[in-house]
Amino acid sequence: MKRLEFNKSFGQFLKLASIELPSKNFYNYLKSSNEGLNQHYEECKSLYSLPNTDSKIIKICEKLVKYLKTNYEEENKGDLKDHHCNLLSHWIYEQLDKKINDSFHSIIPIYGRFKFILSDVLKDPNAPQAIECLNDVHLLTFNNWKESKDLYDYCVDYDKIIKYTHQ
């Protein structure tokens, strides 16, 4: 019976594109946060020294720097305080995977450089926590990283989904 309830809830979750799910809101914010990215170019341009790097990778870095400089403190106190670092790491990995379309081994140096850039950039009182945000999250090294991300998103969104299904 519980499996049937889970399958029903999970099936409805996949069709809930139009409601406000916390993980979707988080990813949509990152996707659409293009304003003012150029001011973070100088902080990210060192990525060009790595293979597989182009302007799209630089844009991911700029979004990451912008997020951590402008939203980290708020998210660390908000509803997603226990999840935003994982969501951020999933988003980064997904974006790098889309752009590089290669392998985990090509993504690792770029992700590592992101962390290096952040250690240089974030020097305010929240910086150690913001850098730990990326250090605490392990990149998904499995072939099923997408399924793992989807399951994590489902867990983050679970309360909202249950509330929606009982309306």
Retrieve residue 45's tokens. Answer: 């341009």
Residue 8's pLDDT is 58
| pTM, two decimal places | 0.77
Let me know how long the chain is. Answer: 167
Give pLDDT, residue 158.
Answer: 92
* 30-55 residue pLDDT tens: 999 899 999 989 889 888 888 778 88
> What pLDDT is stored for residue 140 in this prediction?
57
Burial of 154 (0-12, 13-18, 19+ CB in 10 A): middle
> What confidence score (pLDDT) does residue 28 get?
92
CA distance 63 to 40: 8
Q: What is the pLDDT of residue 153?
A: 93
Residue 53 has which token pair?
């790097």
The predicted structure's pLDDT at residue 81: 72
pLDDT cut 70: percent of the chain above it:
73
- pLDDT for 59: 93
Distance in angstroms (rounded) separating the CA atoms of residues 87 and 137: 10
> How far from 157 is each of 16, 20, 86, 122, 133, CA to CA, in Å?
11, 9, 13, 30, 20
Residue 134: the pLDDT is 64
Asked if residue 80 lies in contact with residue 87, where contact means CB atoms within 8 angstroms, the answer is: yes
DSSP state of 45: G
Per-block average pLDDT, block size 10, for the chain (167 residues)? Answer: 56 60 91 90 86 86 87 73 82 87 77 79 62 61 78 92 82
Classify residue 56 by its DSSP letter.
H
From first CA to last CA, the distance across the chain in angstroms is 20
Provide the phi-psi class of 36: left if phi over 0, else alpha when psi is between -120 and 50, else beta. Answer: left
- Helix (H) or strand (E) holding 133, with range, is helix 127-135
What span, in angstroms and rounded, lies between the C-alpha atoms of 39 and 59? 11
